[in-house]
């Protein structure tokens, strides 16, 4: 019944209305006396006429078609789409937080300033960085902020440099952030381990390189084992090391990126620390830095003086503001509540379970799917369609088929260095029973690819809309009904 929900236009019946208004108790005024005639119309052509109960039931049924993490497993790799405790939403809705205004004097904003100050301390402790700015609005914004600071640092020294090195497995926003800051992107190929080869890095690293921008664990879900040697090579040539913090869900409480020679790190709080993810945000991408970059932080900083908190705009070489006011406060509150609730032991447990879950999926599926780097992974694992491709079944077929089993597809065709990639991140919030159902669905699809590949070319078959011509939909979208 849900899958066959008609359009609201199709349940329209002439004369029905979803509202009724009482008689007005003030003098009537002809609308033509208020608005110009060219702005008026008698009716809206084709507008549906439905009762209130029809409207309510129609959109309630449609809402059940909306896939969401509160409904079922969301295995997107490199995004950490995990269930978020609702208590953190309640905390962010407390009146003391919802009625504050950024133009309030600091004297009556001490509570939120204290929360932000402590959140900075927590993020510094988790990451091993020296200072934090909460301003950036999302991960890519954090990247841009970090790269602007790196550029300001080198410029002040009289040599802004020209290049930034990125692994070929980098997130797509990384080269964009680098280019926006005026740098040339130099790609370093992953070695047969799926990692950065220190020898190759040493070969391309020179005094014209401003920074190496990497992700650790990388987007293949693999830990850069040579990270200390890698950061040393960059530092020896006068460069800095930026780390994309999108995969912090694998490291919390276990290892600190600041101890690995990382100079700049952004956090995806909407990935890691309890904020609904997707649908356009909002996000939060705080930036962490080592002391060498402290003079370039965005303003204002939050300072503590005794029991009082204030905003400091006196940062010698600040890159300025990167966001209106002080960051996405609602998101920061939820992250603060999450960290306080979990505590140090809880955050460590998050990482441990996320890693165990990813390796459980990898191990269970290794006999059915090609795993290009089939060894211990971190919080996510990457499969490919190499085996299924022999029967004409592609990664897209597999992803679409998963919808019929009640699962959202994983990230597909990324990282781009793996042909036909499927990137799966189970997170720590999924039970073994949920993972088993997902694994059994993947195994069944693998068997269908061998026995009945044609059935997968038309998936999904249980949804309101089946397989779309995605190229045509992108180039010639039909945005109107009728």
Quick: pLDDT tens for 211-232: 999 999 999 999 999 999 999 9
Q: How far is CA 75 from CA 20, 146, 215, 250, 410, in A?
A: 45, 29, 20, 15, 5
Confidence of residue 280 (pLDDT cuts 50, 70, 90): low
Q: Which of 285, 277, 320, 284 minimizes the C-alpha distance to 301?
A: 320
Phi, psi of 353 (to 5 degrees): -70, -40
For residue 340, the number of C-alpha atoms closer than 13 Å in the C-beta half-sphere is 14
Q: Looking at residue 342, what is its pLDDT?
A: 95
Measured distance CA(152)–CA(238) in Å, rounded: 14
Confidence of residue 482 (pLDDT cuts 50, 70, 90): very low
User: In the chain, what are the domains?
Assistant: 8-63 (no CATH), 86-342 (3.40.640.10), 346-475 (3.90.1150.10)
For the chain, the distance separating the N- and C-terminal CA atoms, rounded to the nearest angstrom, is 23
Confidence of residue 2 (pLDDT cuts 50, 70, 90): very low
Q: Looking at residue 37, what is its pLDDT?
A: 86
Q: Is the dihedral of CA 24, 30, 36, 42 positive or negative?
A: positive
Measured distance CA(369)–CA(361) in Å, rounded: 11
Q: Which of 377, 380, 360 minimizes the C-alpha distance to 422?
A: 380
Residue 420 has pLDDT above 80, yes or no: yes
Q: Looking at residue 85, what is its pLDDT?
A: 87
Query: What is the β-pairing status of strands 209-215 and 163-167?
Result: parallel
Q: Looking at residue 1, what is its pLDDT?
A: 39
Give me the mean pLDDT over the 288-308 stretch: 96
% of the chain beyond a pLDDT of 90: 78
Confidence of residue 279 (pLDDT cuts 50, 70, 90): low
Worst-scoring range by mean pLDDT, 71-75, 223-227, 311-315, 435-439?
A: 71-75
Compute the C-alpha angle 392/473/80, nearest 5°.
Answer: 75
Measured distance CA(150)–CA(240) in Å, rounded: 7
Quick: pLDDT tens for 101-140: 999 999 999 999 999 999 999 999 999 999 999 999 999 9
Confidence of residue 282 (pLDDT cuts 50, 70, 90): confident
Q: Rounded mean pLDDT of the chain?
A: 93
Measured distance CA(313)–CA(302) in Å, rounded: 9
Confidence of residue 278 (pLDDT cuts 50, 70, 90): low
Quick: pLDDT tens for 164-211: 999 999 998 999 999 999 999 999 999 999 999 999 999 999 999 999
Residue 281 has pLDDT above 70, yes or no: no
Q: Which of 335, 341, 429, 422 minimizes the C-alpha distance to 385?
A: 422
Quote the tokens at residue 297: 């932080």
Instruction: Residue count of the chain, please give it.
Output: 482
Q: Looking at residue 480, what is its pLDDT?
A: 66
Q: Looking at residue 67, what is its pLDDT?
A: 81
The structure's pTM equals 0.89
Measured distance CA(352)–CA(350) in Å, rounded: 6
Instruction: Find out whether 425 and 383 touch, Cβ atoms under 8 Å.
Output: no
Residue 3 has pLDDT above 80, yes or no: no
The answer, yes or no, to whether the previous bond of 67 is cis (omega within 30 of 0) is no
Who contacts 420 (Cβ-Cβ below 8 Å, separation ≥6)? Answer: 384, 385, 386, 389, 394, 395, 413
| Residue recorded with tokens 């078609």 | 65
Q: Looking at residue 477, what is its pLDDT?
A: 83
Q: Which of 358, 263, 386, 284 minimizes the C-alpha distance to 326?
A: 284
In the chain, the largest separation of any two C-alpha atoms, in whole Å, equals 84
Is residue 265 classed as helix, strand or coil in its secondary structure? Answer: strand
Q: Which of 236, 184, 232, 181 minimizes the C-alpha distance to 206?
A: 236
Quick: pLDDT tens for 10-68: 999 988 988 888 888 898 888 888 999 888 887 778 889 999 999 999 999 888 888 88
């Amino acid at each position: 019944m849900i899958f066959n929900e008609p359009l609201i236009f199709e349940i329209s019946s002439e004369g029905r209305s979803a509202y009724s208004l009482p008689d007005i108790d003030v003098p009537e005024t002809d609308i033509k006396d208020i608005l110009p005639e060219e702005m008026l119309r008698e009716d809206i052509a084709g507008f549906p006429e439905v009762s209130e109960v029809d409207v309510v039931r129609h959109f309630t049924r449609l809402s059940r078609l909306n896939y969401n993490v509160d409904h079922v497993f969301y295995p997107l790799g490199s995004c950490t789409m995990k269930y978020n405790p609702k208590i953190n939403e309640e905390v962010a809705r407390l009146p003391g937080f919802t009625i504050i205004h950024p133009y309030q004097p600091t004297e009556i904003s001490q509570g939120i300033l204290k929360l932000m100050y402590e959140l900075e301390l927590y993020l510094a402790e988790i990451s091993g960085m020296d200072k934090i700015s909460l301003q950036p609005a999302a991960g890519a914004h954090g990247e841009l902020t970090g790269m602007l600071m790196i550029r300001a640092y080198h410029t002040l020294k009289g040599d802004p440099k020209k290049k930034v090195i990125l692994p070929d497995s980098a997130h797509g926003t990384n080269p964009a952030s680098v280019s926006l800051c005026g740098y040339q992107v130099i790609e370093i190929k992953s070695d047969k381990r799926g990692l950065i080869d220190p020898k190759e890095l040493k070969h391309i690293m020179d005094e014209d390189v401003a920074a190496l921008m990497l992700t650790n664990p990388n987007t293949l879900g693999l830990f850069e084992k040579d990270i200390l040697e890698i950061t040393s090579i960059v530092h020896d040539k006068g460069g800095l090391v930026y780390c994309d913090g999108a995969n912090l869900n694998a490291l919390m409480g276990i290892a600190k990126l600041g101890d690995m020679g990382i100079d700049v790190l952004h956090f995806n709080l909407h990935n890691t620390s309890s904020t609904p993810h997707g649908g356009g945000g909002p996000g939060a991408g705080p930036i962490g830095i080592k002391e060498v970059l402290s003079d370039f932080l965005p303003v204002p900083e939050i300072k503590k003086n005794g029991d009082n908190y204030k905003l400091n705009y006196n940062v010698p070489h600040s890159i300025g503001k990167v966001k209106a006011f002080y960051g996405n406060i609602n998101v920061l509150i939820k992250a603060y509540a999450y960290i306080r609730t979990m505590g140090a032991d809880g955050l460590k447990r998050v990482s441990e379970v996320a890693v165990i879950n990813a390796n459980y999926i990898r191990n269970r599926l290794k006999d059915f799917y090609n795993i290009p780097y089939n060894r211990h992974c971190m919080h996510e694992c990457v499969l490919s369609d190499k085996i299924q491709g022999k029967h004409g079944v592609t990664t897209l077929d597999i992803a679409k088929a998963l919808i019929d089993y009640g699962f959202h597809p994983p990230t597909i065709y990324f990282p781009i260095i793996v042909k036909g990639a499927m990137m799966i991140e189970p997170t720590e919030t999924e039970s073994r029973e949920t993972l088993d159902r997902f694994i059994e669905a993947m195994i069944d699809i693998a068997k269908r690819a061998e026995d009945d590949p044609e059935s997968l070319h038309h998936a999904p078959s249980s949804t309101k809309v089946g397989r779309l011509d995605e190229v045509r939909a992108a180039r010639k979208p039909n945005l109107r009904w009728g």
